[in-house]
């Protein structure tokens, strides 16, 4: 599982980390691409469930500059312990600098790259200078992730196996890299 954060006003997207300005209420529109999860940043507020085909809202605010831990609070099986992310609360000035730098230096998020993010595996921290919101709205389309996997030719052998789907995805990506 990976956490994907869209910043619609800034036209930025991050994977597995979140930057926010301190002293600003931030509206989270929470949804899921496939499995049910629960967004939880204990130092900033309560948890809120994320479900495919639905959109939940929650306001959170960091009153101090610092790094906070966020995680999935809904047990989902293998890999659950790694379903976490960092929240970096920064001054408005530092946040604005990060936004400007990201817009200039980060790659655009293409539909194909986003489709790869829909594969059932872990992902590294990533930053993009655009969002998926123009082509994928998980709150309205609960099957986007399944269709993305189909477009990539990915088929899970057994979603309940200890080595699959994670090993299956790794092997699938190696195969694509060699083509």
Domains and CATH numbers, the chain: 4-151 (2.60.40.420)
Mean predicted confidence (pLDDT) in 163-176: 57
The per-residue pLDDT for range 114-149, each reduced to its tens digit, is: 999 998 888 899 999 999 999 999 888 889 999 999
Position 177 confidence tier, pLDDT thresholds 50, 70, 90: low
Mean predicted confidence (pLDDT) in 7-26: 98
- CA-based end-to-end distance of the chain: 26
pLDDT at 154 exceeding the cut of 60: yes
35 in Cβ contact with 76 (< 8 Å):
yes
pLDDT at 156 exceeding the cut of 90: no
165 in Cβ contact with 159 (< 8 Å):
yes
Average pLDDT, the chain: 88
Counting residues of the chain whose pLDDT is more than 70, the rounded percentage is: 84
Position 49 confidence tier, pLDDT thresholds 50, 70, 90: confident
In the prediction, which pLDDT does 9 show?
A: 97
pLDDT at 3 exceeding the cut of 80: yes
- Which of 97, 22, 123, 45 has its CA nearest to residue 30? 45
Neighbouring CB atoms inside 10 A of 64's CB total 9
In the prediction, which pLDDT does 166 show?
A: 54
In the prediction, which pLDDT does 67 show?
A: 98
Sequence-distant (≥ 6) Cβ neighbours of residue 100 within 8 angstroms? none
51 in Cβ contact with 36 (< 8 Å):
yes
In the prediction, which pLDDT does 165 show?
A: 53
DSSP result, 112-136 = HHHHHHTSSS----EEESS-STTT-
């Amino acid at each position: 599982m990976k956490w994907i954060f869209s910043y619609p006003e800034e036209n930025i997207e991050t994977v597995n980390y979140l930057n926010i300005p301190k002293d600003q209420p931030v509206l989270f529109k929470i949804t899921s691409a496939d499995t049910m999860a629960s967004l939880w940043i204990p130092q900033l507020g309560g948890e809120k469930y994320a479900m495919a085909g639905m959109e939940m809202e929650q306001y959170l605010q960091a009153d101090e500059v610092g790094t906070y831990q966020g995680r999935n609070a809904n047990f989902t099986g293998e890999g659950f312990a790694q379903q976490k992310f960092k929240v970096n609360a920064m001054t408005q000035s530092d946040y604005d600098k990060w936004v400007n730098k990201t817009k200039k230096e980060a790659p655009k998020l293409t539909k194909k790259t986003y489709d790869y993010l829909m594969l059932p595996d872990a992902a590294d921290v990533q930053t993009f200078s655009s969002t998926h919101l123009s082509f994928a709205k998980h709150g309205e389309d609960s099957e986007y992730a399944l269709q993305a996997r189909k477009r990539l030719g990915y088929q899970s052998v057994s979603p309940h196996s200890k080595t699959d789907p994670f090993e299956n995805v790794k092997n699938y990506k190696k195969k694509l890299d060699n083509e």
